[in-house]
Amino acid sequence: MTFQEKLDKIVKKNKSLVCVGLDSDVTRLRQDFGEAKQLSFNKTIIEATHDLVCSYKLNTAFYESIGHEGINALKDTCDYLVQKYPEIPIIVDAKRADIGNTNKGYVQFIFTYLGADAVTLHPYLGEEAIRPFLDCKDKGIIILCKTSNPGSDEFQNLQVSIPSLYDRAKMVRPLYQIVAENVINKWNKNKNCLLVVGATYPGELKEVRKIVGDMTLLVPGIGAQGGDLEATLKVGLNSKKQGLIINSSRGIIFAENPREEAMKLRNEINKYL
Amino acid sequence: MTFQEKLDKIVKKNKSLVCVGLDSDVTRLRQDFGEAKQLSFNKTIIEATHDLVCSYKLNTAFYESIGHEGINALKDTCDYLVQKYPEIPIIVDAKRADIGNTNKGYVQFIFTYLGADAVTLHPYLGEEAIRPFLDCKDKGIIILCKTSNPGSDEFQNLQVSIPSLYDRAKMVRPLYQIVAENVINKWNKNKNCLLVVGATYPGELKEVRKIVGDMTLLVPGIGAQGGDLEATLKVGLNSKKQGLIINSSRGIIFAENPREEAMKLRNEINKYL
């Protein structure tokens, strides 16, 4: 089963486009979660939300921060999900990308060792470099396109001059659109690519949706980062009223009642479907 | 002591611009290195080359590939270097970059847990995103500019249209040059930035050198990747006949005689100084 098929199934079953980001920052976890703090915390969140989500996203930064113990917590959380909720896709938000065969180490780590279903990658090195990821037909390869941070325009919105196919005039378009075009037209031979577009940039989201057709987009920036949910859904949904994975991390996992917050977000989204 | 000061000292002491990449791919290591294969192998390489190098570079992909055991090997190798050869800078080739505070996890991992002196980062998210790295004044923050892989032109050589300061005409320059300009003019407030430029692109290296003055550049692509050493040195050295960290990984560590290979590369480089 491909990542997209797995995603479609759970979206239907849980009636949800919500991805919960298990950004389990150890400095924010209560002591009473004990020795294996991150794992215990994650289990609590998973038990509270598994019927309300379309995926879980684990950002490696929050686990690597404490070294090999954190890697254990990351692995144990993935194992827990694979065993108990095998129908829920796991996205590892690793934001990796190296050259050529070096990526095989990361492919091994993320898809074999952790058993994840999808990974996020930087586009800067190009398609040729990340071929080892793109060759994983059943996995979701999620490329950073327009990120949610306030300073993402520094490079992503630079105006790029592209020779037109039809005349000598040059077309000018922002870099993030070139990334979207290359991914949909060239990188996506195995139909396993997705893009990241932040909810903090609905204008850019609209443009990306025009370029990529029905491709699924991972959308961070809702919740703590202040992204606009209504605008995101209005311009971001695809022709099937799907095609978005709406991530919320801190806004759900550190809420007083994570289940309530996840349900609120799911229901709010579903009003627009 | 800053990364640059540490680097300058060892360059002088060892008369070397050679960085040995400890890309200790487990699938290529002989069985007789035993249980802690990667660590034992790395120790052998370090003992054979420590008086011939200006730094060691550890690419995280080769360690993450086997999960937490690999992270242990990475950590133990860094500990070994810190204890036995504290004068040799450790570069962690992690190619990370996330948004804002999430990067604090990686800062913690690379500089506190591993005790490294420098890290490599993707530029795509912009300066604002990687501020937690840039704020580490004494560490080397090495930004990918023009990477050594054959397909790096896909985005890095796109022509970007930049409004000129002086007239209404637009200037057009390749993206990698804009990265270099932003890093030297804006990101480098703490004088702790470096750039990656592959030895496989001496033309681009020449342009980057013009833009960044005496800034130190990390140059991969020599050896197995076929980069041109002579061209690299002719166009890449700064006004002090320094400013390059020339990395070779497989070409040295998997050679029959790693010490001989490291010495050969060092001496070859020193002919041009």
Of A72, A126, A159, the CB nearest to B68: A72
Q: How far, CA to CA in Å, does A187 sit from each of A134, A156, A174, A180, B97? A: 7, 19, 19, 10, 22
Q: Is B150 on the interface with A (CB under 8 A)?
A: yes
3-state DSSP assignment of residue B62:
helix
When the pLDDT of each residue in chain A is averaged and rounded to a whole number, the result is: 95
- Tell me the pLDDT band of A167, cut-offs 50, 70 and 90: low
Is-contact B228 B246, C-beta < 8 A? no
Contact state of A148 with B61 under an 8 Å Cβ cutoff: no
Q: Is A86 on the interface with B (CB under 8 A)?
A: no
Q: Is B113 on the interface with A (CB under 8 A)?
A: yes
Where do the H-state alpha helices sit in A108-156? 131-134, 153-156
Q: Is B86 on the interface with A (CB under 8 A)?
A: no
Contact state of B68 with A63 under an 8 Å Cβ cutoff: no
| Tokens coding A51 | 């019927």
Strand locations in B179-260 (E): 193-197, 217-219, 244-248
The confidence score (pLDDT) of residue B158 equals: 97
The confidence score (pLDDT) of residue A165 equals: 62
The confidence score (pLDDT) of residue B33 equals: 75
CB proximity under 8 Å: A 184-203 to B: none
Element (H, E) at B84: helix B68-84
Any idea where the domains of chain B sit in the sequence?
Answer: 3-151+190-270
- How far, in Å, CA of B62 to CA of A223, rounded? 36
The confidence score (pLDDT) of residue A178 equals: 97
What ipTM describes this predicted complex? 0.96
The confidence score (pLDDT) of residue A163 equals: 72
B40-50 pLDDT tens trace: 999 999 999 99
Q: B175 phi and psi, to 5 degrees?
A: -55, -40
Q: By percentage, how much of chain A surpasses pLDDT 90?
A: 89
Contact state of B61 with A153 under an 8 Å Cβ cutoff: no
Cβ contacts of B125 on chain A, cutoff 8 Å: 144, 147, 149, 151-152
Average pLDDT over residues A223-227: 79
A206-221 pLDDT tens trace: 999 999 999 999 999 9
Average pLDDT over residues A28-36: 77
Element (H, E) at B68: helix B68-84
Q: Is B248 on the interface with A (CB under 8 A)?
A: no
Task: Tell me how long chain A is.
Answer: 273
In the chain, the amino acid numbered A200 is: T
Average pLDDT over residues A220-247: 93
Q: Is B72 on the interface with A (CB under 8 A)?
A: yes
CATH superfamily of A3-150+183-270: Aldolase class I (3.20.20.70)
- Tell me the pLDDT band of A224, cut-offs 50, 70 and 90: confident
Cβ atoms within 10 Å, residue B35: 7
Cβ contacts of A148 on chain B, cutoff 8 Å: 99
* Percent helix, percent strand, percent coil in chain A, to nearest 5: 45, 20, 35
Cβ contacts of A72 on chain B, cutoff 8 Å: 68
Average pLDDT over residues A230-256: 96
The confidence score (pLDDT) of residue A164 equals: 63
Is the model's pLDDT at B224 over the cut of 80? no
Q: Is B95 a catalytic residue?
A: yes
Q: How far is A71 from chain B (nearest CA, A)?
A: 6
Q: Is A172 on the interface with B (CB under 8 A)?
A: yes
B174-184 pLDDT tens trace: 999 999 999 99
Average pLDDT over residues A132-136: 98
The confidence score (pLDDT) of residue A245 equals: 98
Is the model's pLDDT at B243 over the cut of 90? yes
Q: Give me the architecture of the B3-151+190-270 domain, per CATH.
A: Alpha-Beta Barrel (3.20)
Q: Is A82 on the interface with B (CB under 8 A)?
A: no
Please list, in sequence order, all residues whose beta carbon lies within 8 angstroms of the beta carbon of residue A24, skipping any fewer than 6 positions away.
Answer: A37, A38, A41, A42, A45, A62, A63, A73, A253
Is the model's pLDDT at B125 over the cut of 90? yes
Residue closest to A124 by CA, chosen among B182, B213, B148, B212: B148
CA torsion, points A259, A260, A262, A265, in degrees to nearest 10?
Answer: 170
Q: How far, CA to CA in Å, does A254 sit from each of A21, A240, A248, A249, B220? A: 11, 32, 11, 8, 42
Residue A93 backbone zone (phi > 0: left; psi -120 to 50: alpha; other: beta): beta
3-state DSSP assignment of residue B14:
helix
- How far, in Å, CA of A42 to CA of A23, rounded? 9
- Tell me the pLDDT band of B7, cut-offs 50, 70 and 90: very high
Q: Can you give the pTM of this predicted structure? A: 0.97
The confidence score (pLDDT) of residue A169 equals: 61
Q: By percentage, how much of chain B surpasses pLDDT 90?
A: 89
Average pLDDT over residues B189-209: 98
CB proximity under 8 Å: B 35-64 to A: 59-64
The confidence score (pLDDT) of residue B168 equals: 59
When the pLDDT of each residue in chain B is averaged and rounded to a whole number, the result is: 95
Considering A15, A43, A75, A95, which one is annotated as catalytic?
A: A95
Q: How far is B70 from chain A (nearest CA, A)?
A: 9
Considering B95, B139, B191, B206, which one is annotated as catalytic?
A: B95
The confidence score (pLDDT) of residue A114 equals: 98
> Across the beta sheet with A159-163, what order do the strands follow?
A170-174, A159-163, B159-163, B170-174
Is the model's pLDDT at B78 over the cut of 80? yes
| Tokens coding B47 | 């003992």
Q: How far apart are the first and last CA of chain A?
A: 25
Q: How far, CA to CA in Å, does A33 sit from each of A29, A30, A44, A154, B174? A: 7, 6, 10, 40, 51
Cβ contacts of B219 on chain A, cutoff 8 Å: none
**CB crowding A176-212: b at 16 or more within 10 Å, else e:** bbbbbebbbeebbeeebbbbbbbbbbbebbebbbebb
- Provide Rg for chain B, Cα atoms: 18
Average pLDDT over residues B31-48: 89
Residue showing tokens 């690379």:
B110
Where do the H-state alpha helices sit in chain A? 3-14, 37-49, 61-64, 68-84, 103-107, 131-134, 153-156, 175-185, 202-212, 229-236, 250-253, 258-270
Element (H, E) at B77: helix B68-84
